[in-house]
Chains A and B, each alone.
Chain A
Amino acid sequence: EVQLVESGGGLVQPGGSLRLSCAASGFTFSSYWMSWVRQAPGKGLEWVANIKQDGSEKYYVDSVKGRFTISRDNAKNSLYLQMNSLRAEDTAVYYCARGRDPEWCLFDLWGRGTLVTVSS
Chain B
Amino acid sequence: DIQMTQSPSSLSASVGDRVTITCQASQDISNYLNWYQQKPGKAPKLLIYDASNLETGVPSRFSGSGSGTDFTFTISSLQPEDIATYYCQQYDNLPPTFGQGTKVEIK
Contact = CB atoms under 8 A, between A and B. Distances in A.
A107 B42 contact: no
A112 B44 contact: no
Contacts of A11: none
**In the complex, which of the residues A46, A100, A103, A105 has the most CB atoms of chain B within 10 Å of its own CB atom?**
A105
Contact of B97 (A47, A100, A110): A47
Interface residues of A, number: 20
B62 interface: no
B89 A103 contact: no
A59 B49 CA distance: 22
B46 interface: yes
Contacts of A100: 49
Contacts, number: 52
A105 B96 CA distance: 7
B82 to A, nearest CB: 19
B45 interface: yes
Contacts of A88: none
B34 interface: yes
Contacts of B73: none
Nearest to B94: A59
Across chains A and B, which 5 residue pairs bring their CB atoms closest together, nearest first?
Answer: A105-B91, A110-B43, A105-B96, A45-B98, A47-B96
29 contacts: A44-B87, A44-B98, A44-B99, A45-B38, A45-B44, A45-B89, A45-B98, A45-B101, A47-B96, A59-B95, A61-B95, A95-B44, A103-B49, A103-B91, A104-B91, A105-B89, A105-B94, A105-B96, A106-B46, A106-B49, A107-B34, A107-B36, A107-B46, A107-B89, A108-B55, A110-B44, A110-B45, A112-B43, A113-B43
